[in-house]
Structure 1
Amino acid sequence: MLTLSVSQRLELKGRAHALKPIVMIGNAGLTPAVLDEIERSLKSHDLLKVKVMHDEREVRAGMLQEICTLLKAGAVQHIGKTLVIYRPLEKPIAKAPKRPRGKPLTKKQLAGRR
């Protein structure tokens, strides 16, 4: 399980505020399919929200702990039925190469820009 400092958690909470839940855990609980989906989401996003449809707080806290332990992630926040999970990306996503520019402007076209 990844441990986060207080300042890291505060920064991540701020980033997570605008996010919408990506994964929802229903009545079946934390199944292997749900864990696979969270794993896939963490490969493309370093920070994600998970919505849990269970009423008991202790059960939700246990799910957060289990997710973080199994997926080597860090628990950022557990507020209500929403869990916020963080795991740094393994390798940064490469940016798309810049496309070549068109033909350079002629003197006449440049004069018209003034």
Structure 2
Amino acid sequence: MKLTRTQIRHLRGLCHALDPVVMVADKGLSDNVRAEVELALDSHELIKVKLRGERDQRQAWADDLVATTGAAAVQQIGQVLCLYRRHPENPRIQLPR
């Protein structure tokens, strides 16, 4: 999913008020964690994921989540990753052009 700079800026502003809905910890990206991320993206479109690990491990998890879910990484600061995936039938967030 490709987003423009204006769209990313808009989504980053919306991310500030969100709390992490999924946490990836020492057991890594299990099937259950992936399923929770998919469910959260379907429900909310824009989510925060808490990645608890070393820097290289966090980046690998973030890249894997983006690749497997088809979501766009809006922002990653430290241990928090914001993901956005538009709902195909009923989008909730209106993106600027």
Q: TM-score, normalised by structure 1?
A: 0.76
Q: Which residue of 2 aligns with 1:43?
A: 42
SS at match of 2:9: helix
1:38-77 matched pairs, under 5 angstroms: 38-54=37-53, 56-77=54-75
SS at match of 2:27: coil
Q: Which has the higher strand share?
A: 2
Q: Which residue of 2 aligns with 1:19?
A: 18
Matched residues, percent identical?
Answer: 37
Asked if 2 retains the 8 angstrom alpha-carbon contact of 1:43 and 1:90, the reply is no
Q: Which residue of 2 aligns with 1:32?
A: 31
Q: Which residue of 2 aligns with 1:82?
A: 80
1:8: how far off?
Answer: 1.1
Structure 1 residue 5 corresponds to structure 2 residue 4:
yes
Q: TM-score, normalised by structure 2?
A: 0.88
Asked if 2 retains the 8 angstrom alpha-carbon contact of 1:61 and 1:78, the reply is no
Q: Residue type of the partner of 2:34?
A: L
Gaps of 5+ in 2: 92-97
1:44: how far off?
Answer: 0.7
RMSD: 1.1
Q: Residue type of the partner of 1:92?
A: N
Task: Number of aligned residue pairs: give it.
Answer: 91
Q: Runs of 4+ in structure 1 displaced over 4 angstroms?
A: none
